[in-house]
A = this chain, B = another copy of it.
């Protein structure tokens, strides 16, 4: 069986707390999906390390043969349409023997209906 990793690829923020929210979600995903992924890492397009490129390098160095990159973006703007796919295309050239997959972005997940519904009894 191939060793698999997931990268949760977020925009990144100047606010440390915001990047930590992404890291916390990656940790939860790691726990929930441990039978599917040996490793789940947060990564950021801008403004915070690790970059998506570095996260891919790290996953390859850790011996994973399959890497699934999930764009953690609500809107299909330039980042989702151009920037993240360009990074993945370069990584595929750099690592032709590694299976690097890019999923749809979060905004297209059918699970968002339930994610919003789950907020209804919270207070800001």
Residues of A within 8 A of B (CB): 8, 10-11, 13, 15, 17-18, 21-22, 25, 28-29, 32-33, 36, 68, 70-77, 85, 101-120, 122-124
| A115 and B117 in contact, given A17-B76, A76-B21, A123-B101 (Cβ under 8 angstroms) | no
Given contacts A74-B10, A113-B25, A113-B29, A119 and B108 within 8 Å (CB-CB): yes
A-B pairs with beta carbons under 8 Å apart, 8 shown: A28-B113, A29-B116, A70-B116, A70-B119, A103-B120, A106-B112, A111-B111, A111-B117
Chain B residue numbers with a CB within 8 Å of A75 are 10-11, 13, 15, 18, 21-22
CB of A45 to closest CB in B, whole Å: 13
Task: Decide if B108 touches A8 in the complex (CB within 8 Å).
Answer: no
Tell whether, in the assembled complex, residue B107 and residue A122 are in contact, meaning their CB atoms are under 8 Å apart. no
Q: Chain copies in the assembly?
A: 2
Instruction: Pick from A22, A33, A102, A118 the residue with the most CB of B within 10 Å.
Output: A118
Assuming the contacts A107-B21, A123-B104, A124-B105, asked whether A76 and B117 have C-beta atoms less than 8 A apart, the reply is no
